[in-house]
Amino acid sequence: MSDTAVIVLAAGKGTRMKSRRAKVLHELCGVPMLGHVLRNAKALAPSRLIVVIGKDAEEVRARFDEDVEFVLQAEQRGTGHAVLVAEPTLGPVIGDVLVLYGDTPLLRPETIERMSEVKDESGADLVMLTARAENIPGRVLRADDGRIVRVIEASDATPAELEIEERNTGVYLFGAQLLRDGLASLEPDNEQGELYLTDVVGYAVEKGLRVEGLEITDADECLGINTRKELADAARVLRGRIVQSLMDEGVSFIDPDSVYVDADVRIGQDSLIEPGVVISGRSILGEGVHVKAGSVIEDSEVGDDVTIGPSAHLRPGNVVGRGVKIGNFVELKNSTLGPGTKAAHLGYIGDADVGADVNFSCGAIVVNYDGYKKTRSTIGDGAFIGCNSNLVSPVEIAPHAFVAAGSTITKDVAEDALAVARGRQKNIEGWVARREGRQVGGSGTGESDVESTHSTQGKSD
């Protein structure tokens, strides 16, 4: 559709969203609703892509600055007025003009392509998209021979016309000249005193031009968003599409309805996603990844054959190597983990560069924040971090070094060294009995210091 220009109407106030943000910036599956519309439009390779903005114009401009021409509709006087404002920016377009809406993000590019095919096959001057959906107010009036005669807004319809089931989605594919002539003919002769784009349909019929309607069977495609509930409804539909597409590509979901996967997420084949998982942002998961129940992955890259969870949390910025194991209640943040590394349970790894085949035992923490700034630590290949150890950044643990359980490490540890940073154990015999006023057996006053070399590792896997 390279000879087609696209106009996206995104100037609505969105008062029913009750929000401080522009309506079209509210997200579905990690992408603003206007972002979905622009992606679908760009998939058609249009000659021009024009977005009409109004309320919160600067906020919208700042969010979308790639290959988009913005036009300001300072005063909102209807859809016809919005397109009229955009018309000068079209320039000498001689092909077709597609009109889309910034709050209708579920329309598929394939449907728009079909509109173009219908226009070419029928020789129509205008193709409009219709659907049988109760939430769309505009009725499509057809003559006895099936020709489209008029589009009627609900507020202007008679009781008989309100019974019409076929509705106008507002998506149009105009011949450029028809659009120009039709816009010039618009008059605000309705209760709202607005310029309706739908009146261009009546203009085309009046001039004897051919108007075709393409009725879509999936009414969800034309779901417009004006309220928080409609936003949630649209997100639910989109999540279903995302999960279905991933299953078609070889990903397994135990309970597809219970997971939340964003639009920009990529998952390799033979991966398994358990219930209650959230994968957001631009996360990339390799092949054979097993994400267990209740885990959250945000903007992270995960290699092949990795196991995550249950109830693990990957915050943004992680790169996880092949065969890594991230266990229950382990949190990662802005860290790299080499192949084969394990953090099996109850730990935090933040701002760390971790080599291959490192073991983080239960309760091990990389302490990356000192109350003023965050710093990084490095843990070399094959290192072993014992239970309940703290690595206070910035610190370097060299390859094959061991950190004893319960140690707080503040200095670098050399290769093959054992680091022990804790007080010596002291057992005071008979202390409990004396405290409780009981007879103490034996000497009753003996004290002993205990330090077991085999206890320094505190191994846990």
Among the listed residues 354, 297, 288, the one whose alpha carbon sits nearest the alpha carbon of residue 322: 288
- In the annotation, is 345 catalytic? yes
Among the listed residues 256, 267, 342, 253, the one whose alpha carbon sits nearest the alpha carbon of residue 300: 267
Taking the C-alpha atoms of residue 302 and residue 179, their distance in angstroms, rounded to an integer, is 50
What is the DSSP code (8-state) at residue 424? P
Backbone angles phi, psi at 364, to 5 degrees: -75, 140
Taking the C-alpha atoms of residue 282 and residue 307, their distance in angstroms, rounded to an integer, is 19
DSSP states of 295-312 as a string?
A: -EEES-EE-TT-EE-SS-
Q: Could you tell me which residues come within 8 angstroms of residue 114 by beta carbon, excluding any fewer than 6 positions away?
A: 214
* Selected catalytic residue, list 36, 345, 400, 454: 345
Q: Could you tell me which residues come within 8 angstroms of residue 89 by beta carbon, excluding any fewer than 6 positions away?
A: 48, 50, 69, 71
How would you classify the pairing of strands 48-53 and 342-350? unpaired
Cα dihedral 151, 155, 161, 165, rounded to 10, equals 70
CA gyration radius, the chain: 32
E-assigned strands of 16-95? 27-28, 31-32, 48-53, 69-72
Query: Which amino acid, residue 309?
Result: G
State how far the alpha carbon of 332 is from the alpha carbons of 51, 280, 309, 335, in Å.
40, 15, 12, 7
Taking the C-alpha atoms of residue 330 and residue 349, their distance in angstroms, rounded to an integer, is 8
Among the listed residues 337, 361, 338, 358, the one whose alpha carbon sits nearest the alpha carbon of residue 400: 358
Active site residues: 345
